[in-house]
Each structure stands twice: as structure tokens, then as C-alpha cells.
């Protein structure tokens, strides 16, 4: 049995930040992370191999619905910050206004700004230079400039980046400042105990407040669970991520009173188009996500850079047969652009018993058994319309940049303005909202201080508390909210 002031479950964008701030503030912290600690010496810059090693379920987490969406989630110290593109946007002011008005969240701008400043300093956030952005960025930005569309270079958490082109597959230079190499070492240096390979099963409640966390640590060679772990702490912060946090709460019969637990899932569905250029692009040389085009951000349509090595491009190029082979022979001349939608669609996360394929679909998951996530999500008409518009803009942009051919992710013969939801090939990288914050306990799972409604001592600090789609990449929003929570628990203001 371990005793601590605070037990943090998960070491991703929320948990790692919180653990470091609390430990440096003098709290005795224990972090329980389900995934491993990754050694950058094992990073191979080979997408399929890295999907297997750095992602949950080899990056094959899927939503069920129309269309099905691939929802890759990072695994290990750093969580999804280990495998994201490093893009850092602060929460847009109009989103914060909505959170205050619609969800009653007491988000003081001055405090939040201090939290963002603190996060950005810790992660060495700075704007990508044109040289580092590479020629893939040059193509799209040339098109945007010709059309007079608003655009710019992204701010990223990177230091000493040389443009290896594989941010999503393990940064081989450790330039990307994910929380596994920034906040986690800070937490350890301040005395936090970080345990990896721990699967949390039970959150024990006594007399209306959280008492302890129970989990299992590692596996024996015969596949049986090994050591049982109990962490007794008066405060527990759940930061297992938007998909798994609601499952752990549900398995412990916690947070269900509002009826919102597991609901309100937004994901920022996304797709990508390619263009065949006359010039050599070498899309994987440079920062894959280095620029944005926000001309239609207020309509929920955002364009951002995306790129990768040949095997990645071959897997995502929307062509078949000889046309695919021909385009891949011209890989060095291919440019790519991503389209992300600020979604009004909402999905849901539920548990199915055991692991998919081994357990019983739809069977009731017992107390203390988390089960596997069943994620449902259907694209609504408004989001379909955003994709139709966005696809047309992508074609216009690439043609304006001088593309010889444009390859849109739609079936042959289907015009983008007539595409149906089931025709779209989507991925999503920003799940949010399944334990949303709302001052009203009838409408939210946690309150404005991210404390679980109706239970003392249990807090949530990951994407699940974000109450609405952001329209921009969420990592530093989650980190700033975690920083704010840390100083709330330390009962002192966030330093300026």
C-alpha cells in the first residue's frame, strides 16, 4: 500500500502537467500510467512499427457510425502528446465566452493566460520557421496567398527540431517537447513517484469522499495479472483521456448522476487531400504540421499541414490500382493538406464487457471491471456540409498553387459538393467532452473546478472535461486547465 497526498491516474496532457505542478508545489504525488515509458532509441521512423508500439490498439481505435472514424490514441508516458503533431493553439476567446455563458464555468481570463504562459514556457512553444516548414507547406501557402486566404505558420512545442517528418511516429531527435520528456521528468525530480504499466480498476469511496485507488501492475510471463496496487490518497485526479476516463468512472458507479457521462463526445473529424505538383515537394522533409489556413475557422473549417513518409502516403492516398501506383511513383512531387472540422456532431463512449472479440458485446460490465470502449459517432448534416465546402476549398487551393492533379478523399465520380457521409474517409485526433464540465450538476459531470459533482476529493483533468468542440488542436487547452487545477489544489494562485 502506498500513501500520497494526490494520486494522478494517467500521464498524458493533463496528468503529467498536474503531477509536475503539484509535486513542485510540495505535494506528495503518485502517478499511475497504464502504458510504458518509451525509449527514443527504439523509434524507427517506420509508421506501421511505430503505430504498433506507441499507440493504443496499434492506432486502430474506431468509432462506429456513419462514417466509421479512425481515432488513434497514444499510449505511455506523454499519452497522445507523444504522437501528436505538436500544434499549440490557445483556447479561442469565443469558445471561452461560450463556456462561461452556456456551462457556467468560472474561467478568469487573467488566470488562464498565466496558465497558458506557464505551459508554453515549459514546452518551448514557438512558431515554425518557413525553412523548417519545408516545401509541402510552401505549396499550400502559395495557394492561400494567391487566393487571399488567411494563413500562417503554426506554433509548436518543439526545441531543436530538424524536420524529421515523423512527429506522429515518435520524434527521433526528441525535439518535440511532449509531456513524457518535459513534465514527467520535472515531476520525478520533485519527488513524484511514477509507476508505468498500471491498470487502474477501482476508485474506493468512503463516507462521501475518495479514499484510495486500486490497480494491477504489470503482467507475469504466463499472462496473469501480477502485483496488486493500492494508493491511499485524499485526492485523486483522473486523467486517463476522453475515451477511458468515463469508462473508469462508470465502472465505479461514479459521475453518472447528470446522465452526461460518456456523452457529448466531439472529435474534430478530419480528412486529407493530395496534389501532384511539377516541383519536387518531398513532403516528409520538414515539419508535417507546420501551417494553418483559417479563412473559414468561424464556419468550423480549418486547414492544417499534414505529411509523412511513403508508406504513410501510400496508405492514405485516395486512389486505386494503376493510378495509385503511378501517383506513388511521383511521391516526391506529392503535396498534402489536412481538413479538420469543428464538429457539432456528438458521439458517446460506453463499455462492453472484456476486450472486443473476447468479451460479450453489450454485456453488462460489473463494478470494478472497466471493459473496452464502444464509441459511437454519426456525422450530422452540418458537419457533412462543412466537409463538402472544405473539400471544394482544398481543390481550389491546390489548383491555385499550380497542381497538375488533385486527389480528393472521395469516391471516383463523386463531386465534393455531393459527397455523402458514408463516402468520407475520416480520422480524428481530438476526442473531447465525455465528462464535461458544467457548473450545474444536472448538466455536467465535473464542476468549474473540475471536481466530480457530488463527491469530495475526485477531480478530472483531461480532454473529457472540455465541454465543447474547440475548432483548434486541444493539447495546451488541456494542459492549461490542468495547471489551473493544480494551483487550485495547492490553494495558491498560478504564478505569473
Partner 1 sequence: MLRALDEFIAATPQPQRAGVRAVLALARRPRGAALLDRVPPLAQVGRALAGMDRYEDPAVARSLGWDADAVVARGRALRRAEGRP
Catalytic residues: 430
Tell me the window of 8-16, 37-45, 335-343, 438-446 that interacts with partner 1 (CB under 8 A): 37-45
Nearest distance, CB of residue 402 and partner 1, angstroms: 20
Candidate list 2, 28, 65, 68; residue touching partner 1; CB under 8 A = 68
Closest to partner 1 by CB, 335 or 465: 335
- 324 near partner 1 (CB under 8 A): yes
- 46 near partner 1 (CB under 8 A): yes
User: What is the spatial distance between Cα 253 and Cα 368, in angstroms, rounded to a whole number?
Assistant: 9
Nearest distance, CB of residue 174 and partner 1, angstroms: 4
Closest to partner 1 by CB, 49 or 400: 49
Closest to partner 1 by CB, 45 or 256: 45
Candidate list 98, 332, 369, 395; residue touching partner 1; CB under 8 A = 332
Closest to partner 1 by CB, 146 or 162: 162
Nearest distance, CB of residue 181 and partner 1, angstroms: 4
- 411 near partner 1 (CB under 8 A): yes
User: What is the spatial distance between Cα 254 and Cα 384, in angstroms, rounded to a whole number?
Assistant: 35
- 135 near partner 1 (CB under 8 A): no
- 179 near partner 1 (CB under 8 A): no
- 226 near partner 1 (CB under 8 A): no
- 65 near partner 1 (CB under 8 A): no
User: What is the spatial distance between Cα 83 and Cα 272, in angstroms, rounded to a whole number?
Assistant: 18
- 225 near partner 1 (CB under 8 A): no
User: What is the spatial distance between Cα 333 and Cα 283, in angstroms, rounded to a whole number?
Assistant: 8
SS (H, E, C) the chain: CEECCEEEECCCCCHHHHHHHHHHCCCCEEEEECCCCCCHHHCCCCHHHHHHHHEHHHHCCEEECCCCEECCCECCCCHHHHCCCCECCCCCHHHHHHHHHHHCCCCCHHHHHHHHHHHHHHCCEEECCHHHHHHHHHHHHHHHHHHCCCEEECEEEECCCCCCCCHHHCCCCCCECCCCCCHHHHHHHCCCEEEECEEEEEEEEECCEEEEEEEEEEECCCCCEEEEEEEECCEEEECCCCCCHHHHHHHCCCCCCCCCCCCCEECCEEEEEEEECCCCCCCCCCCCCCEEECCCHHHCEEEEECCCCHHHHHHHCCCCHHHHHHHHHCHHHEEEEEEEECCCCCEEEEEECCCCCCCCCCCCCCCCCCCEEEEECCCCHHHHHHHHHHHHHHHHHHHHCCCCEEECCCCCCCCHHHCCHHHCCEEECCCECCCCECCCCCCCCECCCCEECCCECEEECCHHHCCCCCCCCCHHHHHHHHHHHHHHHHCCCCCC
Nearest distance, CB of residue 426 and partner 1, angstroms: 12
Closest CA relative to residue 348, chosen from 474, 263, 416: 263
Closest to partner 1 by CB, 53 or 451: 53
Candidate list 58, 107, 132, 399; residue touching partner 1; CB under 8 A = 58
Closest CA relative to residue 10, chosen from 490, 472, 465: 465
Closest to partner 1 by CB, 58 or 399: 58
- 142 near partner 1 (CB under 8 A): no
Nearest distance, CB of residue 313 and partner 1, angstroms: 7
- Judged by CB under 8 A, the number of residues near partner 1 is 52
Pick out residues in 292-321 that bind partner 1 (CB under 8 A).
Answer: 309-317, 320
Tell me the window of 278-286, 373-381, 452-460, 473-481 that interacts with partner 1 (CB under 8 A): 278-286
Binding mask 342-361 for partner 1 (x = CB under 8 A): -------------xxxx---
Contact of 315 with 445, CB cutoff 8 Å: no
- 146 near partner 1 (CB under 8 A): no
Nearest distance, CB of residue 331 and partner 1, angstroms: 4
- 166 near partner 1 (CB under 8 A): yes
Nearest distance, CB of residue 58 and partner 1, angstroms: 4
- 425 near partner 1 (CB under 8 A): yes
- 52 near partner 1 (CB under 8 A): yes
- 195 near partner 1 (CB under 8 A): no
Question: Interface residues with partner 1 (CB under 8 A)?
Answer: 40-41, 43-49, 51-53, 57-58, 60, 62, 68, 160, 162, 164-166, 171-175, 181, 185, 282, 284-285, 309-317, 320, 324, 328, 331-332, 355-358, 411, 425
Amino acid at each position: 500500500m502506498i500513501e500520497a497526498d494526490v494520486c494522478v491516474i494517467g500521464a498524458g496532457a493533463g496528468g503529467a502537467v498536474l503531477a509536475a505542478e503539484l509535486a513542485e508545489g510540495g505535494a506528495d504525488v503518485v502517478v499511475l500510467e497504464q502504458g510504458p515509458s518509451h525509449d527514443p532509441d527504439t523509434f524507427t521512423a517506420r509508421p506501421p512499427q511505430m503505430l504498433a508500439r506507441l499507440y493504443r490498439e496499434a492506432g486502430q481505435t474506431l468509432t462506429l457510425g456513419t462514417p466509421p472514424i479512425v481515432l488513434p490514441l497514444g499510449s505511455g508516458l506523454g499519452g497522445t502528446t507523444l504522437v501528436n503533431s505538436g500544434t499549440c493553439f490557445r483556447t479561442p476567446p469565443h469558445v471561452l465566452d461560450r463556456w462561461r455563458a452556456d456551462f457556467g464555468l468560472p474561467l478568469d481570463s487573467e488566470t488562464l493566460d498565466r496558465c497558458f504562459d506557464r505551459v508554453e514556457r515549459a514546452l518551448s512553444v514557438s512558431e515554425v520557421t518557413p525553412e523548417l516548414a519545408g516545401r509541402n507547406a510552401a505549396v499550400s501557402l502559395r495557394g492561400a496567398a494567391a487566393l487571399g486566404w488567411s494563413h500562417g505558420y503554426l506554433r509548436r512545442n518543439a526545441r531543436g527540431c530538424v524536420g524529421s517528418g515523423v512527429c506522429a511516429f515518435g520524434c527521433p531527435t526528441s525535439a518535440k517537447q511532449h509531456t513524457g520528456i518535459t513534465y514527467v521528468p520535472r515531476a520525478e525530480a520533485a519527488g513524484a513517484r511514477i509507476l508505468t504499466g498500471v491498470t487502474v480498476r477501482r476508485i474506493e469511496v468512503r463516507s462521501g469522499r475518495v479514499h484510495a485507488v486500486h490497480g494491477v501492475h504489470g503482467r507475469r510471463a504466463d499472462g496473469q495479472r501480477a502485483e496488486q496496487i493500492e494508493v491511499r490518497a485524499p485526492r485523486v485526479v483522473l486523467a486517463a483521456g476522453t475515451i477511458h476516463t468515463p469508462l473508469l468512472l462508470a465502472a465505479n458507479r461514479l459521475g453518472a448522476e447528470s446522465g452526461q457521462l460518456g456523452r457529448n463526445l466531439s472529435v474534430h473529424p478530419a480528412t486529407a487531400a493530395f496534389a501532384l505538383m511539377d516541383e519536387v515537394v518531398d513532403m516528409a522533409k520538414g515539419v508535417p504540421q507546420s501551417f494553418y489556413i483559417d479563412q473559414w475557422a468561424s464556419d468550423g473549417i480549418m486547414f492544417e499541414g499534414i505529411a509523412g513518409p511513403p508508406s504513410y502516403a501510400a496508405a492514405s492516398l485516395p486512389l486505386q490500382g494503376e493510378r495509385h501506383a503511378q501517383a506513388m511513383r511521383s511521391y516526391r512531387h506529392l503535396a498534402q493538406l489536412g481538413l479538420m472540422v469543428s464538429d457539432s456532431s456528438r458521439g458517446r463512449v460506453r463499455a462492453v464487457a472484456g476486450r472486443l472479440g473476447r468479451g460479450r458485446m453489450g454485456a453488462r460490465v460489473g463494478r470494478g471491471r472497466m471493459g473496452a470502449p464502444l464509441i459511437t459517432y454519426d456525422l450530422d448534416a452540418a458537419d457533412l456540409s462543412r466537409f463538402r465546402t472544405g473539400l471544394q476549398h482544398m481543390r481550389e487551393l491546390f489548383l491555385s498553387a499550380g497542381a497538375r492533379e488533385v486527389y480528393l478523399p472521395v469516391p471516383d465520380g463523386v463531386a465534393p459538393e455531393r459527397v455523402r457521409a458514408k463516402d468520407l474517409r475520416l480520422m480524428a485526433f481530438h476526442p473531447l467532452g465525455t465528462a464535461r464540465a458544467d457548473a450545474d450538476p444536472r448538466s455536467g459531470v465535473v464542476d468549474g473546478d473540475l471536481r466530480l459533482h457530488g463527491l469530495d476529493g475526485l477531480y478530472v483533468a483531461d480532454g473529457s472535461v472540455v465541454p465543447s468542440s474547440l475548432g483548434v488542436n486541444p493539447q495546451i487547452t488541456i494542459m492549461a486547465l490542468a495547471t489551473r487545477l493544480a494551483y487550485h489544489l495547492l490553494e495558491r494562485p498560478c504564478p505569473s
